[in-house]
Amino acid sequence: MNKNIYIKDLLKKDFKEVWGLQTSLLDSIVALKKERRNTGKEINTPNYFLFVEHPHVYTLGKSGDLSNLLLNEDQLKEKGATFYKINRGGDITYHGPGQIVGYPILDLENFFTDIHKYLRLLEETIILTLAEYGIKGERSAGETGVWLDVGTPFARKICAMGIRASRWVTMHGFALNVNADLGYFDNIIPCGIRGKAVTSMHVELGRNVDEEEVKEKILKHFKELFEVEKYIKKEVD
């Protein structure tokens, strides 16, 4: 089992371009697994972790309801935003500047074969990261992601999650609102859940937050929770 992970910060990139990169990486890992199974060769499969910041974009998961997007095509253009219906789980969400998006592309057979555990550890990674800033992140029963003040009238989501897995290889991931413009969430029913607000670290703390520092903390907790042996910086695009 290979518990090393190649990491790459893609900086600011278009959603569709990164979706294509993720798909390519996933397909290459699946191809190696098929070769290993068919030939009996000892072939290690790689793992990747991509960070990225997307220009304004709305994405709808495969089980999502298009009516949760409250803008038409012309209004999207006015907002400088794009829209994609994609192949992850979950409903609609927003990505944009000031948001840290993480895409772990892992062969879970290198770690554990349990999608539920994978999602819970992703949530725990964010919960532990937020705790370092004095923010108490929580899970909300039946609602993937990380929330604040669960069970109160002030419940609000700070990190959305949605994944796809094929032959135990993951893609897509999480989107943590750090310094994001929350006004863009007004144009959707986030994750298809009515009546619950969205927040960000900078709103909760009353100041802008160093995004590079947050990424370092995310990687630290991810490494501990997933028992990663080491991170390797590598060009993957």
159 is known as an active-site residue: no
154 CB burial (10 A radius; 0-12, 13-18, 19+): exposed
pLDDT digits (tens, 9 = 90+) for 101-148: 999 999 999 999 999 999 999 999 999 999 999 999 999 998 889 999
Distance between CA 67 and CA 178 in Å, rounded? 27
Distances (CA, A) of 145 to 31, 126, 151, 186, 198: 30, 9, 15, 19, 12
Q: Which of 175, 191, 198, 218 is catalytic?
A: 191
pLDDT digits (tens, 9 = 90+) for 208-220: 999 999 999 999 9
pLDDT digits (tens, 9 = 90+) for 145-195: 999 999 999 999 999 999 999 999 999 999 999 999 999 999 988 655 566
Q: What is the pLDDT of residue 101?
A: 98
Distance between CA 14 and CA 55 in Å, rounded? 6
CATH of 4-233, one of 1.10.357.10, 3.40.640.10, 3.30.930.10, 3.70.10.10: 3.30.930.10
Q: Which residues contact 132 (CB under 8 A, 6 or more apart)?
A: 217
169 phi and psi, to 5 degrees? -105, 130
Q: What is the pLDDT of residue 108?
A: 98
Partners of residue 101 on adjacent β-strands: 52, 175
Q: What is the pLDDT of residue 90?
A: 78
CA angle 78, 84, 88 (to 5 degrees): 145
Contact 54, 13 (CB under 8 A): yes
Position 145, amino acid:
G
Percent of the chain predicted with pLDDT > 70: 97
pTM: 0.94
Between 86 and 90, the more confident residue is 86
Does 236 have pLDDT greater than 70?
no
Q: Helices (DSSP H) in 55-182: which residue ranges?
A: 73-78, 115-131
pLDDT digits (tens, 9 = 90+) for 20-70: 999 999 999 999 999 999 999 999 999 999 999 999 999 998 888 889 899
Going by pLDDT thresholds of 50, 70 and 90, the confidence category of residue 89 is confident
User: What are the boundaries of each domain within the chain?
Assistant: 4-233
Distance between CA 85 and CA 92 in Å, rounded? 9
Going by pLDDT thresholds of 50, 70 and 90, the confidence category of residue 235 is confident
pLDDT digits (tens, 9 = 90+) for 74-85: 999 999 999 999
Partners of residue 103 on adjacent β-strands: 50
